[in-house]
Amino acid sequence: DVKVTQSSRYLVKRTGEKVFLECVQDMDHENMFWYRQDPGLGLRLIYFSYDVKMKEKGDIPEGYSVSREKKERFSLILESASTNQTSMYLCASTSPAGRRSGELFFGEGSRLTVL
Amino acid sequence: DAKTTQPNSMESNEEEPVHLPCNHSTISGTDYIHWYRQLPSQGPEYVIHGLTSNVNNRMASLAIAEDRKSSTLILHRATLRDAAVYYCILSVVTPLVFGKGTRLSVIA
């Protein structure tokens, strides 16, 4: 089975801290995605990557950056965390075939609280 | 991406079939119809997808209207474990844009 692992299920950080959310997948997928999920707003796409060292902005990239140095790892970085970035963060991956079939594999999520 | 419309919530009795509707009147000829579900405290899970023909897999069936302006996800026998938010999404390729979905409650 495909496994998408997010490094932390729960994090609490302070305003202004730099935050790293790590995502690792074990199926050699080229494509990886970061979403955030908030009550009433659903899932919103932050960034995605179709290959190592490539990144594309999603719908809400402001305040975030990403890093894809290795194929299996896609990191989401909050350079200076703010309270409005308190959210559930979800990582997903898929193969090239999966890009068309839409079969994304999601991690369990990282719930970030910024105080 | 074309827009989908789903009911906010639905209820079903355990062990009965469930039909979850999705309207997508502005669907384009190349849009695939994807369904995901999200169980409590988990990430979304792929359920099924289709283009024009009805599709079946171990989890569910997808019935697509002949004009493709609507589709229905069918759970043949609801269990308590099927209680989740179900998302209907149109896309040609990823990334997928998730709406608010339908919250399905299953009553024992």
Residues in chain B with pLDDT values less than 70 = 1-2
Average pLDDT over every residue of A88-93? 96
Split at pLDDT 50, 70, 90, the class of A105 is very high
Residues 6 or more apart in contact with residue A41 via CB below 8 angstroms: none
* Interface contact flag, B46 A103, Cβ < 8 Å: yes
- State pLDDT tens for residues A18-42: 999 999 999 999 999 999 999 888 8
Q: Is the peptide bond before B44 cis (omega within 30 degrees of 0)?
A: no
Interface of B with A in 59-88 (CB under 8 A): none
Query: Of A99, A47, A93, nearest to A73 (Cα)?
Result: A93
* Among chain A residues, CA nearest to B87: A42
Length of chain A: 115
Asked whether residue A101 carries a pLDDT value surpassing 80, the answer given is: no
Question: Which of chain B's residues have a Cβ under 8 Å away from the Cβ of A4?
Answer: 43
Split at pLDDT 50, 70, 90, the class of A98 is confident
**Tell me, what's the pLDDT at A92?**
95
d(CA B62, CA A70): 37
Question: Which of chain B's residues have a Cβ under 8 Å away from the Cβ of A32?
Answer: none
CA distance B29 to chain A (A): 14
CB A112 within 8 A of CB A21: yes
Q: Is A23 on the interface with B (CB under 8 A)?
A: no
d(CA B103, CA A20): 32
**Tell me, what's the pLDDT at B10?**
97
* Among chain A residues, CA nearest to B86: A42
Average pLDDT over every residue of A47-70? 95
Query: Of B7, B89, B75, B83, nearest to B46 (Cα)?
Result: B89
Asked whether residue A46 carries a pLDDT value surpassing 70, the answer given is: yes
A55, A61, A65, A71: CA torsion to nearest 10:
-30
Task: For A98, list phi and psi in degrees, rounded to 5.
Answer: -70, -25
d(CA B73, CA A27): 28
**Tell me, what's the pLDDT at A40?**
83
**Tell me, what's the pLDDT at A100?**
73
- Please tell me the number of Cα atoms within 13 Å of B45 on its side-chain side: 17
**Tell me, what's the pLDDT at B80?**
96
**Tell me, what's the pLDDT at A103?**
86
Average pLDDT over every residue of A89-111? 88
Element (H, E) at B85: strand B84-91
3-state secondary structure of B87: strand
Q: Between B93 and A115, name the one with better pLDDT.
A: A115
